[in-house]
Structure 1
Amino acid sequence: MTISPALKVFAWLSFLAEVIIIGTGGAVRLTGSGLGCDQWPLCTPGSLVPTEEMGIHGLIEFGNRTMTGAVGILALVVLLLSLAAAGGRRSVVPALLFALGGVVLAAGSYAIFYLTGLGSVGAVVMSVVLLLAVLVGAIHSLRTTPVRRDLLTLAWVVLAGVMAQAVVGGSAVLTGLNPFIVGFHYASSLVLVCVTAAFLVRMYAVTGPRELATPRWYLILVHVTSLVLAITIVFGILTTGNGPHSGDKNVTRDGFDASLLAHIHSWPGYTLFALALVIVIVAWAKALPTRAWSTAFIAVLTVQIIVGVVQARDALPPLLVGIHMVLAALSAAAYVVTIFRLKRPVTR
Structure 2
Amino acid sequence: MKRSVRFPVSATLLRRLALASIIANVAIVVTGGAVRLTASGLGCPTWPRCTDASYTTTQEMGVHGVIEFGNRLLTFAVGLIALAVVVGVLLHGARRRELLPLAVAVLFGIPLQAVIGGITVLTNLNPWVVGLHFLASMVVIAAAYALWRRVGEPDGPATPTVPGPLRTLALVTTVVSAAVLVIGTWVTGSGPHAGDHGAARNGLDPEVISQVHADGVFLLVGLSVALVFAFRAVGARRAERAAVVLVAVELGQGVIGFVQYFTHLPAVLVGAHMLGSCLVLLATLAVQWSTRERRPVQADRAAATPPAEVPVPVGA
* Residues in 1 aligned to 2:253 and 2:216: alpha-carbon distance in whole angstroms: 14
SS in 2 for 1:307: helix
2:124 to 169, 176, 181: 176
Q: Unpaired segments of 5 or more residues in structure 1?
A: 88-146
Structure 2 residue 259 is the aligned partner of structure 1 residue 310? yes
Q: Which residue in the other structure is 1:212 paired with?
A: 160
2:283 to 334, 341, 346: 334
* Residues in 1 aligned to 2:117 and 2:198: alpha-carbon distance in whole angstroms: 18
1:237 to 176, 185, 198: 185
Q: Which residue in the other structure is 2:246 paired with?
A: 297
Structure 2 residue 22 is the aligned partner of structure 1 residue 15? yes
Q: Which residue in the other structure is 1:33 paired with?
A: 40
Q: What is the deviation of 1:283? A: 2.2
* Residues in 2 aligned to 1:225 and 1:267: alpha-carbon distance in whole angstroms: 14
Q: Which residue in the other structure is 1:187 paired with?
A: 135
Structure 2 residue 75 is the aligned partner of structure 1 residue 73? no
C-alpha deviations, 1:136-159, integer Å up to 9, x for none? xxxxxxxxxxx4433211101101
Q: What is the deviation of 1:300? A: 1.0
Change (3 A) 1:216 1:5: closer
Q: TM-score, normalised by structure 1?
A: 0.79
Q: Which amino acid aligns with 2:250?
A: L
C-alpha deviations, 1:58-109, integer Å up to 9, x for none? 111011111111110000110111011136xxxxxxxxxxxxxxxxxxxxxx
C-alpha deviations, 1:9-34, integer Å up to 9, x for none? 22111110001001000011111111
Q: What is the deviation of 1:307? A: 0.2
* Residues in 1 aligned to 2:210 and 2:97: alpha-carbon distance in whole angstroms: 41
Q: Which residue in the other structure is 1:224 paired with?
A: 172
Q: Which residue in the other structure is 1:201 paired with?
A: 149
1:56 to 31, 56, 63: 63
Equivalences, count: 289
- Is the contact made by 1:150 and 1:202 (CA closer than 8 Å) also made in structure 2? no
Q: Which amino acid aligns with 1:296?
A: V
Q: What is the deviation of 1:345? A: 2.6
Q: Which amino acid aligns with 2:220?
A: L
* Residues in 2 aligned to 1:22 and 1:174: alpha-carbon distance in whole angstroms: 20
Q: Which residue in the other structure is 2:106 paired with?
A: 158
Q: TM-score, normalised by structure 2?
A: 0.87
Q: Which residue in the other structure is 1:110 paired with?
A: none
* Residues in 2 aligned to 1:161 and 1:77: alpha-carbon distance in whole angstroms: 15
* Residues in 1 aligned to 2:289 and 2:202: alpha-carbon distance in whole angstroms: 41
Q: Single out whichever of 265-274 and 49-58 deviates more from structure 2.
A: 49-58
Change (3 A) 1:167 1:207: same
More helix by proportion, 1 or 2? 1
C-alpha deviations, 1:265-300, integer Å up to 9, x for none? 111110100110111122234331312222221111
* Residues in 2 aligned to 1:317 and 1:252: alpha-carbon distance in whole angstroms: 19
Change (3 A) 1:218 1:254: closer
Q: Which residue in the other structure is 2:308 paired with?
A: none
* Residues in 1 aligned to 2:69 and 2:251: alpha-carbon distance in whole angstroms: 33
C-alpha deviations, 1:221-277, integer Å up to 9, x for none? 111111111111111110101111111011131511111100111111101001101
Q: Which residue in the other structure is 1:249 paired with?
A: 197
* Residues in 2 aligned to 1:254 and 1:187: alpha-carbon distance in whole angstroms: 16
Q: Which residue in the other structure is 1:287 paired with?
A: 235
- Is the contact made by 1:212 and 1:342 (CA closer than 8 Å) also made in structure 2? yes
- Is the contact made by 1:35 and 1:247 (CA closer than 8 Å) also made in structure 2? yes
SS in 2 for 1:211: strand
- Is the contact made by 1:3 and 1:203 (CA closer than 8 Å) also made in structure 2? no
Q: Which residue in the other structure is 2:311 paired with?
A: none
Taking only the aligned residue pairs, the percentage that are identical comes to 38
SS in 2 for 1:244: coil
Q: Which residue in the other structure is 1:259 paired with?
A: 207
- Is the contact made by 2:173 and 2:220 (CA closer than 8 Å) also made in structure 1? yes
Q: Which amino acid aligns with 2:201?
A: R
C-alpha deviations, 1:284-327, integer Å up to 9, x for none? 34331312222221111110000000001011111111111111
* Residues in 2 aligned to 1:261 and 1:173: alpha-carbon distance in whole angstroms: 25
- Map 1:110-189; keep pairs closer than 5 Å: 147-189=95-137
Q: Which amino acid aligns with 2:279?
A: L
* Residues in 2 aligned to 1:65 and 1:250: alpha-carbon distance in whole angstroms: 21
Q: Which residue in the other structure is 2:273 paired with?
A: 324
* Residues in 2 aligned to 1:76 and 1:228: alpha-carbon distance in whole angstroms: 32
